[in-house]
Amino acid sequence: KPYLFGHPSVTSVAQRFSNASQPLKETPDVPIETYQKEIINLLVQDFNDVQDQQDVIKEKKTGDCFGPTVTWNKNSSLVESSH
């Protein structure tokens, strides 16, 4: 089994590519930097999912089925409404 000190084993590299969708397990074979990048990517994905959910909720609240649409004009302090 080829192994170099400070580098992952062939088995751990193969597992990383075969299980790309699963989070990495913290083992001595996995460099900490790679593990941290994977965790950050998962957190960013979770954050984006939550933002998408909030956007859907905002669209439902401002949709025509709930009355006139009210939007905030970012360039001024005026609120625009339409029906």
Q: Is residue 8 part of a domain?
A: no
pLDDT digits (tens, 9 = 90+) for 3-46: 555 555 667 767 767 766 666 555 665 678 888 899 999 999 99
pLDDT value at residue 1: 47
Contacting residues for 22 by C-beta, under 8 A, at least 6 apart: none
With beta carbons less than 8 A apart as the criterion, state whether 23 and 39 touch.
yes
Tell me the whole-structure pTM to 2 decimals. Answer: 0.39
Number of domains in the chain: 1
Phi, psi of 82 (to 5 degrees): -140, 160
Q: Is residue 17 part of a domain?
A: no
In the predicted model, is pLDDT for residue 83 greater than 50? no
pLDDT value at residue 61: 86
Q: Is residue 58 part of a domain?
A: yes
Q: Is residue 55 part of a domain?
A: yes
Domain that holds residue 46: 31-82
Of the pLDDT bands very low, low, confident and very high (cuts 50, 70, 90), residue 47 is very high
